[in-house]
Amino acid sequence: MPLSALAMRRLFALWGKTKPNTPRGVGGSQSPPPSGDDEWPDDDPALALERRQRLNRKLWFGLLLMVLSLVMFGPAVLDLVSERRATKPSRELAKESREAIAKGDRALHDQALREADAKVKEGRLDEAKAILLKQLPLDLTDADVYLRSSEICLRQGEPRVAYHFLKAATDRWPDNLEILSRLGELLLLDHDYQAARGIAARVRKRDEYVSRALLLESQIAFGEGHLAEALQKALEAEKRSQQPLQVKWYAYIADLYMRKGDRLSAAEVIRTHLQSKMDADDLLSLAKFSLRVQDEAGARSHFDDALKRYPQNPEVLYTYGEYLFSQREFRGAITYYTKALEVLPNLPLIEYNIGRAFLAADDITGLKGHIDRLLAANAENVFALRLKAQYHLRLGQRTAAIETLKTIVRIAPDAVGPRVVLGGLYVQEGKLALAEECAKKALSLGDSSISPHVLLADVYFRRGMYERAKAHLTSLLAIQPTYLPALLQLGDTYLNLGKYKLAEEQYAKAVAQNPSIKDLKTKLIWLKAVEGDPEQALSMAQKYWQEMPEDKNALVGYVNTLVVNHRLNDAIAVVMLNSKQHPKDWRLHYLLGDLYLVKKEKKLALASYQHALALNPDDPNLVLNLSARYIDTHLEKEAESVLLAFRKRQPGNMLTLNQLAWLYIDTLNSPEKAKPLVDALRVDADEPTAIDTIGWYYFKVNRFGDAEYYFRRALRLDPENTAIQKHLALTLERLGQK
């Protein structure tokens, strides 16, 4: 067996290790070697015999080396000795040797792929993936290894990892259109239509892939809300395809017809292409189509047919479980998910969906047992940890959920989904800087979905940084133009920026998406009021409230327009009447308190606010708003009382802690009372406003060097905050700096 390259390198390395020259003769000088036997003195026969024996040993050793050389490098050595032109035979031999090695390695490589396929059929996906991963570094690895690996990741519910496999494959084989097609389909799942459009343009290069490119473009158009274009491209794909489309694509075309209201054409597609003998995938495609067109009986029939003909097909079992889940038949979903898991054991995606079904069924005990079993088998099972986070959230254990998500991020640092969820929880905790960090990290990891932009827009909107919020909402809508919450929030952003016409444009787009949005009507009415037509706004608000008397947003809109029209007493009467009809609705008492405050009736306002707080004592936003109102109206003791009571209930809430510290430091000018609060803020403060509070404390106690440090730190997080800039300027003035 020929030596491997590594073994040859080791052999040459050993031969290259020579001992240092040993000094000979007096003083380390080197004596010249003898030139022949006649140079040696022959006085002593014993010495002469010894010399001849040594010479013989050297000759034998040299001969042995020559034989070994001939054995190992025979053809090349003989060619050189005979001085013949032996280049061609040696090259041919080397070529034959390489071909033999490649043939053997190719056989082993193909065998590995067959083993991986067998593992996939057995449902042992982790083992299959491990086999494939060993093939990736090899020179013989082809695109199939990457495609197989990506498919396994998709089945395991890891689209992000599947994306990385396909992206690496496109870097290695940039002209492989099959890989590009798969990558484009994966990008659609992530709503990255711009990148998918670029892939489609590249896939069009060869005639046999034009149909695939057109189908990809059709799905992009569909995702962007362009139904007519989606249908036109799908029909063109069918026309230009060199062979009949898969059944799922005919179901897709029929679905497009149905969405356009063309039932006759949809029925014709079904009759022409979907009535032949179908396999499991075809039946499932037809069942999904029936669901889209609200043909419940047809969907049940196709599912029943699939279950009868393919009772052990995991895809059939799993998809039927998904259908039952969508129908809120959660127990049935658990049953079929479990059956699918018996066929494909240890599949994380199915295990996760079993947990989702337990959660949806409100079976917290069953969910806890399921999570415990999964984590007992593998403490770093990311899907089980995701379920654990949801379990904690269901129980209202936000801190435990955050810790679980942090564990997921540690185990899977490239996972973007958990980071975005974690960021959302940080927003609820008032830790906006940490939320911002999560969203930015998701973007840096390549998350091209709308989620990080949604999170960042929310963070900046809450901070009052409306221009930044607008930038992310615009980026979001470039990815998904019809995303309703973004349209609404962008309208609100323009409203806060005083750009009323632009706000109205966004609200109009939102109405086009969903005309029945309750809150939208009140926003449009308020726009009329702020644009200088309060009487028309009042007329619209009154009419809307009469039509929707149970809609609290309609009531608030009507009350606000009454105030704008200088009918404060009428507004109070309307709210008082509704608060008597709904005595446990804290929002009505809160609104009544605001109205009394406008009327400058502090005692009545205070009573209403206290009533609202008694009905909703654990809402930090309510506590923050009430304490701010108390401070603005010089009710500092009431503000202190509210904040201290809430601190006892939720000692870890940084927003209320910061508000209380600021009350002591600035409003009451008693920084000594704030020291324990500032110590707590120093441990966990990550918001620029909280860090500014720490700096202001040090300013008040004349520790200007410490104050400067915290103000600069706060400005690094929020460089445009003019209040912090002023605090730093005051500090530098005290320090004698410009």
pLDDT recorded at residue 189: 73
CB 521 within 8 A of CB 536: no
pLDDT (mean) for 384-411: 94
pLDDT recorded at residue 174: 82
Distance from C-alpha of 651 to C-alpha of 384, rounded to nearest angstrom: 30
Within 8 A by CB and 6+ apart from 362, the residues are none
pLDDT for residue 97 is more than 50: no
Within 8 A by CB and 6+ apart from 176, the residues are 143, 169, 170
Per-residue CA distances from 126 to 122, 129, 304, 312, 346 (Å): 11, 5, 31, 21, 9
| Residue with the larger pLDDT of the pair 450 and 88 | 450
pLDDT recorded at residue 38: 37
Distance from C-alpha of 53 to C-alpha of 68, rounded to nearest angstrom: 23
> Which two three-digit tokens encode residue 86?
């032996």
> Which two three-digit tokens encode residue 2?
């020929």
Q: Which amino acid is at 579?
A: S
Name the burial class of residue 232, with classes exposed (0-12), middle (13-18) and buried (19+) by CB atoms within 10 angstroms of its CB.
middle
pLDDT recorded at residue 738: 53
> Which two three-digit tokens encode residue 670?
């008693």
The single residue listed with the structure tokens 């029945």 is 516
pLDDT for residue 548 is more than 50: yes
> Which two three-digit tokens encode residue 378?
């593998």
Q: Give the tens place of pLDDT for each residue, 369-395.
A: 999 999 999 999 999 999 999 999 999
pTM over 0.85: no
Distance from the Cα of residue 541 to its chain's centroid: 41
pLDDT recorded at residue 717: 84
Residue environment code for 670-686, b if the CB has 16+ CB neighbours within 10 A, otherwise e = ebeebeebbebbeeebb
DSSP string, 553-600: HHHHHHHHHHHHTT-HHHHHHHHHHHHHHSTT-HHHHHHHHHHHHHTT
Enter the DSSP assignment of 245: P
CB 249 within 8 A of CB 234: yes
> Which range is least confidently modeled, 31-40, 285-294, 615-624?
31-40
Within 8 A by CB and 6+ apart from 262, the residues are none
pLDDT recorded at residue 49: 41
Going by pLDDT thresholds of 50, 70 and 90, the confidence category of residue 76 is very low
The single residue listed with the structure tokens 């609104």 is 591
Most confident stretch, 36-50, 61-75, 683-697:
683-697
Enter the DSSP assignment of 295: -
Q: Which amino acid is at 563?
A: V
pLDDT recorded at residue 105: 64
Calculate what percentage of the chain has a pLDDT beyond 90.
37
Name the burial class of residue 285, with classes exposed (0-12), middle (13-18) and buried (19+) by CB atoms within 10 angstroms of its CB.
buried
Enter the DSSP assignment of 205: T
Closest CA to 703 of 669, 734, 729: 734
